[in-house]
């Protein structure tokens, strides 16, 4: 992942963990994450450091941890972290495989 183009832009860092509690392996990717603000703007991951690389398959009981950074608008507020494999596929006109179809979007209000 790239670092932000301008060091003067606000950079919001988030520590994340994903754990597969299901019965089957599920794909994960940094591309499934984004940050949104109350105005509806979307911010992709601009920086990432994880324990398992940028994408892969999490088998039952496996987990991945990492830090994600998002370059944000200085005036933005009301941030929500979104993890949405289906949304990523739909935004990029990709087919949904059986594993991705069953993953519901996760939205976490960050309170900033």
| pLDDT single digits (tens) 28-83 | 888 889 999 999 999 999 999 999 888 888 899 999 999 999 999 888 999 999 98
Residue 103 lies in a domain: yes
pTM for the structure as a whole: 0.77
Q: By residue range, what is the domain housing residue 31?
A: 11-109
Q: 30 with 50: CB under 8 angstroms?
A: yes
Residue 2 lies in a domain: no
Residue 6 lies in a domain: no
CATH number of the domain enclosing 64: 2.60.40.1240
Residue 52 lies in a domain: yes
At 52-63, the pLDDT tens digits run 888 888 899 999
Residue 5 lies in a domain: no
Residue 49 lies in a domain: yes
Residue 62 lies in a domain: yes
List, in order, residues 6 or more apart from 35 with CB less than 8 Å away.
Answer: 12, 14, 42, 43, 70, 72, 79, 80, 81, 82
Residue 3 lies in a domain: no
Residue 72 burial class via C-beta count within 10 angstroms: exposed 0-12, middle 13-18, buried 19 and up: buried
* Count of the separate structural domains present in the chain: 1
């Amino acid at each position: 992942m790239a670092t932000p183009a301008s060091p003067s832009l606000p950079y919001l860092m988030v520590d994340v963990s994903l754990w597969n509690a299901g019965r089957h392996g599920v794909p994960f990717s940094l591309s499934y994450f984004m940050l949104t603000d109350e105005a509806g703007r979307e911010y992709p991951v601009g920086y990432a450091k994880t324990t398992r690389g940028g994408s892969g398959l999490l088998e039952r009981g496996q987990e991945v941890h990492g830090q994600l950074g998002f370059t944000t608008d200085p005036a933005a507020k009301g941030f929500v972290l979104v993890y949405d494999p289906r949304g990523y596929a739909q935004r990029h006109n990709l087919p949904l495989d059986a594993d991705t179809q069953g993953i519901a979007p996760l939205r976490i209000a960050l309170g900033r």
